Amino acid sequence: MELGKLQTGDKGVQEIADALHAEHRTTQSLVAETILKGLLRWATECRDGKRTDLRNERAVKKTLALLETPDDRPDGDDQHLFMYTC
């Protein structure tokens, strides 16, 4: 995956939204789940591996605040991010 080719800002956001709209509803759910789990894993690995600095620290902290495992679940449990319901 080449993240450097993804547009940033509103154009990139719309590009992702348009790509999701073009897919089957099941695929939409699975891709949304994969994106959220990927963001959570990235932020957790950054925090735990001390891979943060002033350039990504805020993104890591905000991602963890939004997606981190609730306190009543074991560390690393991402069951709360499952999106496919059928």
Handedness of CA 86, 14, 35, 80 (dihedral sign): negative
User: Angle, nearest 10°, between helix axes 9-21 and 25-48?
Assistant: 140
> Rounded to two decimals, what is the model's pTM?
0.86
Q: Is the pLDDT of residue 44 over 70?
A: yes
Using one digit for the tens of pLDDT, what is the confidence trace for 49-63? 999 999 999 999 999
**Nearest to 42, CA basis, from 66, 71, 12, 15:** 66
Distance of CA 55 to the CA centre of its chain: 18
Radius of gyration of the chain (CA): 15
The least confident of 11-25, 31-45, 71-85 is 71-85
With the CA atoms of 30, 38, 79 and 84 taken in that order, what torsion angle do they form, in degrees rounded to the nearest 10?
A: -10
